[in-house]
Structure 1
Amino acid sequence: MNIVILGAGLMGRLLACELARAGHTLSVYDAAAADSRRAAAFAAAAMLAPLAESAVAEDSVVRMGHYGLTRWPELIAKLDAPVFFQQQGTLVVWHRQDAAEAQRFAQLLATTGKRLPSLPSPKTLDAAGLDQLEPGLGAHFAQGLYLPGEGQLDNHQLMDTLLAQLQRLQVNLHWNSPRSPDDFAPGTPGQPDWVLDCRGLGAQPQWPGLRGVRGEIITLHAPNVTLSRPTRLIHPRYPIYIAPKQDGYFLVGATEIESDDTSPMSVRSALELLSAAYTVDSGFGEARIVELVAQCRPTLPNNLPAVRRPGARCLQVNGLYRHGYLIAPAMLDVVLQLMQGDESELAKDFELAVTGPVPSADVQALA
């Protein structure tokens, strides 16, 4: 079949790879240049932490994230080049003065565990336990939590490898070419069989209520810092996460601002992120700042993802918010199921909103 995908971000690339491997003809249109790093997919730490996110996310997102922990290794294994993937759990730490905030966080995780018993239980650590997992951390923190099974990947490696895969699969890539679903009439002569809209904030004209939520991330090179797994600092004002990647690189982030402003990072945000990282490991004092990134994540009014059918043979995927990498495999498989039939069992399992008219019987499903 002939399929058009709008948007070459994370969802667009994942869908294009899966469908091209299945033998379909793909055309991908993106408003940016081929070497652009402005997509929301590049402004992420790519942590796969459903339990940690359960303190602020709905159960449906947590279930999708738990599903993704199994699917990501399968998706990465299909790629031509290796992509850094780690599943050694998440550490959560706090300073003594923030013990009350930490207790509230632990209670939220315990409540989630009762509702979703398939999630692994967090483990309480003392200073010695912290040192056993991350040598030296016990000198700074007396207590912590270990969330087993959680993971992360390298989003830049993944995005670049997906692009190389699309090129090898001879997908038609159209850069600097903004398009909308209105530009196509899928299923009619000379038109594609399907249109998949994965434009994120680019879909605002067609999706009322879609808004941007600003996030900011700093990339540091700190070869002397030995943190080996994602670490979160609980703090009432500026909680942060530190995601260690390969070769001494670390991503530090946390900020979440209700704004569609994509201007450079503010001094205040940079100071708060860097100061908090320094309290976790003083070795960050000698780190080199590699990159400061600010970008907006596409978000719907309820902060949950959704799929819409604006018409026959057209699906719009949006609202991944701050959980893009966490839930992308689940969203991918839901869309593939919807292209095969009227409904998606996975969407029901995840309580994922799928709105719009149910396709008529003459709509050609994905073989």
Structure 2
Amino acid sequence: MNTSQKPDAVVLGAGLMGRLLACALARRGLRVEVFDAGGPEAEHAAARVAAAMLAPLAESAVTELNVVRMGQHALARWPQLLATLERPVFFQQQGTLVLWHRQDAAEAERLAGQLARTSAALPTLAPAQRLDGRAITAIEPALADRFVQGLYLPQEGQLDNRELLAALAHQMQVLGVDLHWHTPSTPAEVDPGPGTWLFDCRGLGAQPQWNALRGVRGEVARVHAPGVSLSRPTRLVHPRYPLYIAPKPEGLFVIGATEIESDDLSPASVRSALELLSAAYTVHPGFGEARIVELGVQLRPTLPDNLPALRLTAPRRMAINGLYRHGFMIAPALLDAALELVDQDRSPLAERLGLALIR
């Protein structure tokens, strides 16, 4: 590293978290260097294989209240963050639709009870609304006469993960970030010295330095179904795992997601593909004519409690990890908390949201 051009901040890992942080720091006028094992396409990042749904109430069925609070924070912050990017990114906030078949009514009632408890604990979070068949048809005409009961979760949203990753890569260039693609690096290898911030955002790449991390395998199908016209993320109550269908621009849909305690990165199994695609077909028969664009597999970086954390390993040394299945939903909260720590060595936001700080 050329000491005459010593950076103010070094970021390891250019997945979602690393890109957001690098842009935020560079926008403050800092000289920023980024090292990543992959390229601008984020081919090694968990964020590339994701639906990028912003669904704090829906996710409360499988996570803790502090993650839900982080998701609430993100719903307000994402439009602000996207407004700072030169390239447009698909973003919508038209709520989430939850559906079920008659045989899964008991499981749906359990889910409705959990969502009601979440809304009671967090009164600022809009509660779920019960829908009958007519109401389902009114908000999603393509599902007319297919379901007789459902839930509508207002305020929730989604964005396009790959458009966002590309827009952030472009913005880093515009902001003058010094980018080292295809350069896997450890903190020891690129340590810039005590006067410079070093942020480790490598996800599972940080396992040697944060050995509590594990990978949780997720499998996602991307299909092109121009004959299907869903206008918002739709979740299907499923006996084994919560299935979602997230409509993206130009007739693309992201369908997921399995959740397997494994660090196996081999291609998707036939069973998983059949379950994902057949469940989507039961929501709308138009998926039977869809074209499979991709069956993606990735490992989500996960800590033992399935919650994210910021770890301050030394002065001006911060690791950000454990985003698990909630990366896009909680990344703005982690970003804002990290910036508070840079500014004042404490984070009122992290304290308010219940985000773990490890020193």
TM-score, length-normalised on structure 2?
Answer: 0.96
Any unmatched runs of 5+ in structure 2? 1-6
Match for residue 85 of structure 1 among 84, 91, 96: 91
AA at the equivalent of 2:212: G
Match for residue 46 of structure 2 among 40, 61, 84: 40
Match of residue 242 from structure 1? 245
AA at the equivalent of 2:263: D
Match of residue 4 from structure 2? none
Match of residue 360 from structure 1? none
In 2, Cα distance between equivalents of 1:193 and 1:20: 14
Match of residue 295 from structure 1? 298
Match for residue 229 of structure 1 among 228, 232, 235: 232
Match of residue 258 from structure 2? 255
Cα RMSD between the aligned structures?
1.1
Distance 1:276 1:266, change over 3 A: same
Deviations 1:191-210 (A, max 9, x none): x6100100000000000210
1:348 partnered with 2:354: no
Q: How do 1:133-212 residues align onto structure 2 when only pairs under 5 Å count?
A: 133-188=139-194, 193-212=196-215
Q: Is the 8 A contact 2:341 2:347 kept in 1?
A: yes
AA at the equivalent of 1:26: V
User: How many residues were matched structurally?
Assistant: 353
Q: What SS is found at the alignment partner of 2:51? A: coil
TM-score, length-normalised on structure 1?
Answer: 0.94
**Residue 338 of structure 1, CA deviation:** 0.5
Any unmatched runs of 5+ in structure 1? 357-367
Q: Is the 8 A contact 1:252 1:273 kept in 2?
A: yes
Q: Is the 8 A contact 1:187 1:313 kept in 2?
A: no
AA at the equivalent of 1:286: E
**Residue 182 of structure 1, CA deviation:** 2.0
Distance 1:304 1:238, change over 3 A: closer
Q: What SS is found at the alignment partner of 2:79? A: helix
In 2, Cα distance between equivalents of 1:10 and 1:307: 15
1:69 partnered with 2:72: no
Identity score, percent: 62
Deviations 1:176-230 (A, max 9, x none): 2111222344544xxx610010000000000021000001111111111011100
Q: What SS is found at the alignment partner of 1:322? A: coil
Match for residue 213 of structure 1 among 212, 216, 231: 216
Q: What SS is found at the alignment partner of 2:258? A: strand
Q: What SS is found at the alignment partner of 1:62? A: helix
In 1, Cα distance between equivalents of 2:89 and 2:349: 26
AA at the equivalent of 1:162: L
In 1, Cα distance between equivalents of 2:144 and 2:293: 28
In 1, Cα distance between equivalents of 2:97 and 2:291: 24
Match of residue 268 from structure 1? 271
AA at the equivalent of 1:349: R
Q: Is the 8 A contact 1:30 1:179 kept in 2?
A: yes
Q: Is the 8 A contact 2:225 2:291 kept in 1?
A: yes
Q: How do 1:101-120 residues align onto structure 2 when only pairs under 5 Å count?
A: 101-120=107-126
